[in-house]
Chain A
């Protein structure tokens, strides 16, 4: 069942303010990597993740903070990951670019654009052998020009794997506009492999939820993969480094047009003002506590640099000779 309007509003508000706090922490140097902000795309995360069961598996990407928060990852532990602390969800080994949090059903974020889809396909195949969990692969428009993505479409369709391919089409692969990169269409690619696909408004979390719920049902009931392309937009740059570089690859009018469809405003209009105020206040409290937790969490001990490298440990030599 579709969640209540205030629940979606709360998720979108949490993601928006989390990203704004992160940008502050990038400025202060606490998040050394910078981040790929998802401001403007929050409705996709909120609607998509609400359609999943807690034990379903999602593979995220470099612009994935919203996915984590929407799936219920602890904001404090997640932020501690971004600041490289041992209290982070991955003990400081993932940072902003490659996080995972299995307790929230997020199994990783591959940095090789488009390649995570085949990992999600294999994961979905394995999960289906032992039950009715499904896998979700989330990628952007930049991924659809990768051959590896098409290999995953082929395998998933051929073997009827319960996986949902989600394309967050925000119009740009870093600086490259989608129309100058993509011949044909995103959904046309899926159709070529016999995968049902649709293009859906990604700024309205309720519309996102409905489309995603249909794809999830199909996967869970043995119908195989689907692709949903959500049209959306990022109001910030590709990465926070753009705040210094001021790259002029899109004009102000375009950004302003998309701001008229701000997911936060769209969902706010569905929630009474007093409820909104209460949600906003709670979000600030949660984020204050998260920032405190992240900055108070210890830095890793250099002696632990090899921890978690192997599951079956091997003896490794140091970088300097012992004799």
Chain B
């Protein structure tokens, strides 16, 4: 079976979709040289559908909105996660509101692709953010695939979706490879989570690359605690029914989330679980601390503000005991 890397999965999804739908085009910075390997080979195949942009993130994000209103399906690639906050207004206040403000006259099918969010060792404090919670909070469709197969399927669905969708690809997952049969690659619907590992004692909801960390912890604790690992895959829409079904089985919940603690995805999941799910013990979350800044240049400091396996182990043990 061929090995598919996460980056190659993104490239393959985009190539397949551009082949299938002539309205799909891609724009962003340095695409010709495919710095993130997403656009490799595209310029040769689709010379008039790869728009290499100057450094004008706000301009080309709004440009994509207009092109989408005009019947195209733009895919916008950004090199740095924080750039998404530079264009937060253009995504959340323009692209995401035009359909509503027009009473349904227009649609805005833009995909915003972040091939590399989270910690980039050595890249400084302005390159290591995880702003996914902000977009989910504002009601922008947000997905965060953990595996190459999911990256392919969710990216494809994002492009086909008739609304703006942000695709977060966690940096630590980009190098991941997976045995796949190419014929099995298929679109994955937004808002459908997946149980990655079944268990009976506790549900760990893990986001993005932390899914793999959670699976490793589940292995580590196998003799002691039976851990179920749930990957929501998309944050808005969110698979509340899938999570509830898992918690119904285990009665306990730990959230493992690389976002900041205050108002983060972990906070939302815990609040919903407390209000609506049957829990045998108080839930816990393992997140970045409040106000965390990953400085990117000092590994000791960087690791101190990112959720760790050890923290997850401690949280699982505490929840299971209570």
Return the CB mask of A165-195 against B: 1 if under 8 Å, else 0. 0000000000000000000000000000000
A104 CB to nearest chain B CB (Å): 11
Q: Closest CB of chain B to A68's CB: distance in Å?
A: 13
Does A119 lie within 8 Å of B69, measured CB to CB?
A: yes
Contact B70 A127 (CB under 8 A): yes
Residues from chain A with Cβ under 8 Å of B74 in the complex: 122
Whether, in the assembled complex, A236 has its beta carbon less than 8 Å from a beta carbon of chain B, the answer is no
Q: Which of B56, B106, B161 contacts A312 (CB 8 A)?
A: B161
Chain A 91-111, CB within 8 Å of chain B: the 1/0 string? 111100011111000011011
Q: Which residues of B contact A126 (CB under 8 A)?
A: 66-72
Q: Is A248 in contact with chain B by the CB < 8 A criterion?
A: no
Residues of A within 8 A of B94 (CB): 110, 112, 115, 119
Size of the A side of the interface (Cβ < 8 Å), in residues, is 55
Q: Is the CB of A312 within 8 A of B276?
A: no
Chain B residues bordering chain A, tally (CB within 8 A): 49
Q: Is the CB of A310 within 8 A of B99?
A: yes
Within 216-248 of B, Cβ neighbours of A (below 8 Å) are at 236-237, 240
Q: How far is the CA of A322 from the CA of B241 in the complex (A)?
A: 13
Closest-CB distance, A279 to chain B (whole angstroms): 31
Q: Answer yes or no: A321 CB below 8 A from chain B CBs.
A: yes
Of the candidates B58, B106, B162, the one whose C-beta lies within 8 Å of that of A148 is B58
Check B63–A125 contact: CB distance below 8 A.
yes
A82 within 8 A of B: no
In the assembled complex, the Cα of A110 lies from the Cα of B68 at a distance in Å of 16
A317 at the interface (CB under 8 A from B): yes
Is the Cβ of A115 less than 8 Å from the Cβ of B237?
A: no
Asked if A115 contacts B90 (CB within 8 A), the reply is: yes
Binds B, one of A34-42, A149-157, A203-211: A149-157
**Bound CA–CA A110/B62 (angstroms):** 11
A233 to chain B, nearest CB (A): 29
Is B1 engaged at the interface, CB distance under 8 Å to the other chain? Answer: no
Say if the beta carbon of B265 comes within 8 Å of chain A: no
Q: How far is the CA of A91 from the CA of B107 in the complex (A)?
A: 16
A115 CB → nearest B CB, Å: 6
Q: How close is A166's CB to chain B, nearest CB, in angstroms?
A: 16
Judge whether B307 is part of the interface by a CB distance below 8 angstroms.
no
Let me know if B60 is at the binding interface, CB within 8 A. yes
Per-residue B-contact encoding for A300-323, CB less than 8 Å = 1, 0 else? 000000011111101111000111
Contacts of A130 in B (CB 8 A): 71
Closest Cβ of chain A to B176, distance in Å, is 28
Out of A91, A314, A315, name the residue touching B103 (CB < 8 Å). Answer: A91
Q: Does B21 contact A (CB under 8 A)?
A: no
In the complex, are the beta carbons of A93 and B100 less than 8 A apart?
Answer: yes
Q: Is A31 an interface residue (CB 8 A)?
A: no
Determine if B104 is an interface residue (Cβ-Cβ < 8 Å): yes
Question: From residue A163, how far is it (CB to closest CB) to chain B in Å?
Answer: 9
Report A50-79 residues with CB < 8 Å from chain B CB: 57, 59
Are B69 and A88 touching (Cβ within 8 A)? Answer: no
- Does the CB pair B102–A119 fall under 8 Å? no
Q: A108-B98, A151-B56 are in contact. Are A115 and B62 (CB under 8 A)?
A: yes
Q: How far is the CB of A113 from chain B (nearest CB, A)?
A: 12
CA distance A126 to B89 in the complex (A): 22
Are A122 and B99 interface neighbours, CB within 8 A?
no
Docked-complex contact A154 and B59, CB < 8 angstroms: yes
Q: Which residue in B101, B236, B240 is a CB contact (below 8 Å) of A98?
A: B101
Q: Which residue of A lies closest to B162 (CB)?
A: A311
Residues of A within 8 A of B191 (CB): 314-315
| In contact, A94 and B102 (Cβ under 8 angstroms) | yes
User: How far apart sit A211 and B99, CA to CA, in the bound complex (Å)?
Assistant: 33
- B100 and A119 within 8 A (CB): no
B132-152 vs A, Cβ < 8 Å mask (1 yes, 0 no): 000000010100000000000
- Give the 4 A-B CB pairs with smallest separation, nearest first: A122-B66, A151-B59, A126-B70, A118-B62
Please list the residues of chain B having a beta carbon within 8 angstroms of any beta carbon in chain A.
51, 53-54, 56, 58-72, 74, 89-90, 93-94, 97-109, 139, 141, 161-163, 190-191, 236-237, 240, 275-276
User: Can you name 16 A-B pairs with beta carbons within 8 Å?
Assistant: A88-B103, A90-B103, A102-B102, A107-B106, A108-B98, A112-B89, A118-B60, A119-B69, A121-B59, A121-B63, A121-B66, A122-B67, A126-B66, A308-B104, A310-B163, A311-B104
